[in-house]
Structure 1
Amino acid sequence: MSELSAQFKTVSVIGLGYIGLPTAAAFATAKVNVLGVDVNQHAVETINQGKIHIVEPDLEEVVKDAVEQGFLSASTETQAADAFLIAVPTPFKGDYEPDLKYIEAATKALAPVLVPGNLVVLESTSPVGATEQMAKWLAEARPDLTFPQTAGESADINIAYCPERVLPGRVMIELFENDRVVGGLTTKCSKRAQALYNLFLKGECVLTNARTAEMCKLTENSYRDVNIAFANELSVICDEQDINVWELISLANRHPRVNILQPGPGVGGHCIAVDPWFIVSQNPLNARIIRTAREVNDAKPTWVLDKVKARVADCVAETSLPIEKIKIACFGLAFKPDIDDLRESPALHIANSIAKWHKGETAIVEPNIHEVPAIFDGKVTLKEVQAALDWADVVVLLVDHKPFKAIPREQVKHQWIVDAKGVWR
């Protein structure tokens, strides 16, 4: 451990969700005292019992060990620490404008306990300039302290930005192994933040400035969004021309310099479905490809819904059953396979739209949840895999969870199928 890293005896992680809790657990593995903070009382109580309130492989074991050894505890109140990490959501409002209200609330909650020598790191995916805005809020709340925007390297408080770049389902691997980009408001801020993450990081922690680090995170997710949009647009074109898009992509990817991604029902999650809009919001005239990719991916759920309506119409025509008697089962709600995260999920949106439109019964199959999300307003039932297959007339595959991919194709005997992931093709 370096001399700089040794300065951090206590770390506070504000926001104990899909990124904050794994990050808190990672710091706890370095045998530093980690104080987790969240407004969700249930989450706090669950963590203090050594359990977790989200689904993420290998996380519960790390949290359990950290709590039992006394290196991790959770509270609804922010307490004094050597370093503070903010990992709260950054949704958008209005016409896809970034909403920093959660960052502002977290900033103002930690301001009263700041002391000279503290480091504050923003991890939340944010528009360019958010770290500077956070520094302004802190300066307004604590005029007795000095901050980098006015005092430079001699500031009492150091401030930096360090976005996560992990894949849900692999967080407890990638959190340690992936390289990180950290950008401070000064060189000293960057180096201190680098030392903080080096407590547990096995990958390289590369230094830059805060604005570049913010844009780097948005760029990574926008790049992925554009590539997914190409695959989704291709799937729509192939459907019009009676071509199996998954076979086509497999053939095209045999080219040594072609690597097309797989199409799906849209794009979800709190990163790829949101972050590109931050660039568009700040650069409305120049972000043309990025905007178009977002529009292509945002339109895909409606296209899938139209396919479901067409299959139901076929079912009605061929069985002579009234539409009220047709039963639909939607397989998958999460925004990606084998997790329980429903944020910005196109599958959730499609299933909810089906339930609202369909006059008959609708069921959902989601192995990673235990109760029907409130968004459905009691209009669906939650079924197990085989029960849904036996029950449904029309099946809709929206997420390629492992249990769904494990179903032998011969068991899916339904004549009316909408497979948005190509699992049962």
Structure 2
Amino acid sequence: MKFNNISIVGLGYIGLPTAAVFASRKIKVIGVDVNQHAVDTINQGKIHIIEPDLDIMVHAAVSEGYLRATTRPEPADAFLIAVPTPFKNGPTGPHHPDLDYIESASKSIAPTLKKGDLVILESTSPVGATEQMSAWLAEARPDLTFPQTHGEASDIRVAHCPERVLPGHVLRELVQNDRVIGGMTPKCSEAAAVLYKTFVEGECVITNARTAEMCKLTENSFRDVNIAFANELSIICDKLDINVWELIKLANRHPRVNILQPGPGVGGHCIAVDPWFIVSATPDEARLIRSAREVNDSKPEWVINKVKLALADYLQSNPTKTAEDVTIACFGLAFKPDIDDLRESPALEIAKKLSHLHAGPLLVVEPNIEFIPSALEHKAQLVGIDEAQARSEISVILVAHKSFKKHLKNKQDDNLVIDACGM
């Protein structure tokens, strides 16, 4: 089984690195995205996201003719779908999985399919999404057969192979991490494993599509529950006047304890989203997973309340001033350190709420972006570290960027500081 041409639908934080890695193995890759700017940027050998070393790999792939981007799908031997799976209102509430992007991607590639093609859903998805994708494809192409009706004899192979990479280390982890391969039939799994072994140095572990879907959700739910413990612990310690950072350091000296670090919440398109897919499917059973999500989702509001208290303390100490005279600086908008990804970011959520609540100037510092997010436009000012320190009376440290660690240490003597990430 040989794949001469691969099409990757969705050229975002996962799709583009995956396309670049395949192209680096001298395989022709057609990248598909509805964003014309992203397509144009990639075809210039540049990138529209921040990920270490990705710019070098994309430039080489485009220059050598192995990677090309377009807005319309073209024929290929394998199709990888890596589009978003956000929320929408549904029977289980506001966190119902939204499969519209997967449906749209499926219907867009359907006309190009031919017998023997492989279709892989990489998007993090609720259990059953791969089967639903295959049903959409079958509806669009009744002239072809699919695994749900023809099993091993199907014309088209379908599988779910979720990514499990860390932003900032995507290129290395795509290659080195084990890969879960969940085909709708054993032959579907076999075909997908052959494809990924093109570049995966870790083990390709075979299972079925539903288990692969649940595996990704389970991994991120496990992390979410552990972060929720740390975040809840930070709230408890604040009430009991205990330094939570010192406490965790001491508790972690136990050989079987490894408490994570608390923060302003949980962000990103995985940990902040995936657990809700489990809750949505099994609302009566997923009690712990739901509680963890609620703890983490509520942490930004706790940080905002700390800012309100700091503002009240400042005004009490400076009776001649009003809230309009006080400048607040938020340090960090990304969902984790040293990346530009703002998806589901608790830091961004906190900045947005403060922009509505605070009567005075609001400054935001995010060294990994060039333009202020539209949600903060006309409500806050994007500035550098030094300017934020010089102009603000209250500093809210939301993301532990390396540049913050270097410049903020021992420079906050004149400011009230709310440190939400233990920096």
- After superposition, the C-alpha distances for 1:40-89 in whole angstroms (9 at most, x for unaligned) are 00000000011000000111100000000100000000000000000000
Query: What pairs up with 1:2-41 in 2 under 5 angstroms?
Result: 4=1, 7-41=2-36
Q: 1:62 and 2:57 equivalent? A: yes
Query: What pairs up with 1:222-371 in 2 under 5 angstroms?
Result: 222-320=221-319, 321-371=321-371
Separation in 2, partners of 1:359, 1:318: 18
Given residue 259 of structure 2, which amino acid in structure 1 is its aligned partner?
I
**8 Å Cα contact 1:395-1:414 kept in structure 2:** no
Secondary structure of the 1:208 match is strand
**8 Å Cα contact 1:323-1:360 kept in structure 2:** yes
> Equivalent residue for 2:47?
52
Separation in 2, partners of 1:408, 1:388: 11
Identity %: 64
For structure 1, which runs of at least 5 residues remain unmatched after alignment?
A: none
> Equivalent residue for 1:407?
407
Given residue 316 of structure 2, which amino acid in structure 1 is its aligned partner?
A
Separation in 1, partners of 2:233, 2:80: 41
Question: Which shifted more, 370-379 or 120-129?
Answer: 370-379
Separation in 2, partners of 1:172, 1:185: 27
Offset of residue 376 of structure 1: 1.3
Question: Which shifted more, 371-380 or 187-196?
Answer: 371-380
Q: 1:372 and 2:372 equivalent? A: yes
Secondary structure of the 2:46 match is coil
Offset of residue 408 of structure 1: 5.2
Given residue 17 of structure 1, which amino acid in structure 2 is its aligned partner?
G
- After superposition, the C-alpha distances for 1:290-347 in whole angstroms (9 at most, x for unaligned) are 0000000000000000000110111111122111000000000000000000000000
Given residue 419 of structure 2, which amino acid in structure 1 is its aligned partner?
D
Q: 1:384 and 2:384 equivalent? A: yes
Secondary structure of the 1:229 match is helix
- After superposition, the C-alpha distances for 1:165-188 in whole angstroms (9 at most, x for unaligned) are 000011011011000101000000
Pairwise CA RMSD: 0.7
- After superposition, the C-alpha distances for 1:74-116 in whole angstroms (9 at most, x for unaligned) are 0000000000000000001112100000000000000000000
TM-score by length of 1: 0.98
> Equivalent residue for 2:198?
199
> Equivalent residue for 1:101?
100
Offset of residue 414 of structure 1: 3.0
> Equivalent residue for 2:111?
112
Separation in 1, partners of 2:230, 2:259: 7
Offset of residue 355 of structure 1: 1.0
> Equivalent residue for 1:174?
173
Secondary structure of the 2:343 match is coil
Offset of residue 422 of structure 1: 1.0
Separation in 1, partners of 2:408, 2:415: 15
Aligned residue pairs, count: 418
Given residue 76 of structure 1, which amino acid in structure 2 is its aligned partner?
T
Secondary structure of the 1:334 match is coil
Separation in 1, partners of 2:59, 2:407: 34
For structure 2, which runs of at least 5 residues remain unmatched after alignment?
A: none
Separation in 1, partners of 2:300, 2:160: 34
Separation in 2, partners of 1:83, 1:352: 41
